[in-house]
Amino acid sequence: MIKHRMTVVALVVAVLFPAASFAQKAKYVFVLDPTKMEVKEGQKSQGLSDIHPYRVVGKEKGKLIVRDYEVKALVSEENTVPVDKAYTHCTNSLAATPGEPRALHFRAEVARRSGKPRVALKDLDQLIKADKATCQTYVSRGNAYQDLGEYKKALADFKKAVDLDPKSGIAQNSLAWLLATCPDAKIRDGGKAVEAAKKAIKQFKSPPAYVVDTLAAAHAESGDFKEAAKQQKKAKELMPSEFTAQVKEMNERIKLFEASKPYHETRKGKKEKE
């Protein structure tokens, strides 16, 4: 794991927690030093990227109980920053270390997840122009373009991410999801989606729900609805019960696939306040 003056924050690209997940009903935090977390359930996969928000699901022994799609863990509150304060946290870090790659990437993710993908693009473009981009940088920029409805640019960035690191489960999963579910029919390709989704699956010792979810959507787009329904049910079983909204969405997709219908996302690209 890369270290810098701003402690590394735990992030999953893209696919895990869209901006809508930051609803007031659920509290999310970033963990400043994941190495100090005490894992209670599950196993962290090597396919995950460095930074993502955790959902707070309770307290125990004076510590927060947090979880994502793979693990439930204990973490001290001092080792977290609430999502609504994370952007300021990043900006303060960058004031001390201008242009620091991880801080820029973290701030971009916070902006995107807060519904401001154009703000995120500024930091991500800075990283790419400075030749400091990684596979995850392109995944994050692809997610930002996807949020804006700029699907061709998103596709190009996901392909670039895969080229940089073919063994990145996150990159392969992001590419597969877009190929399977994009609102633009010109972007969708069921066969290639299944291929990328299977490559993503192989990068995880225990594939998490969201990766199996992508494989289900890919099979549906390719026309194999029986396998799509099977994989979607498996994804639902893997999804932690705390994520009720995601479970509901999976139930809806199961119905679609059983009715021999694919799942396509609604077109994005609404304006944002900067």
Identity of residue 80: T
The structure's pTM equals: 0.81
Mind listing the pLDDT tens digit of every residue in the chain (274 residues)? 333 333 333 333 333 333 333 334 568 888 887 788 888 887 665 433 446 788 898 999 899 988 887 788 898 998 888 888 888 888 888 888 888 888 899 899 889 988 999 999 999 999 999 999 999 999 999 999 999 999 999 999 999 999 999 999 999 999 999 999 999 999 999 999 999 999 999 998 889 999 999 999 999 999 999 999 999 999 999 998 888 999 999 999 999 999 999 999 998 765 444 4
Cβ atoms of 109 and 11 within 8 Å: the answer is: yes
- Please give the domain boundaries of the chain with CATH numbers for all domains: 19-83 (no CATH), 166-266 (1.25.40)
Cβ atoms of 183 and 151 within 8 Å: the answer is: yes
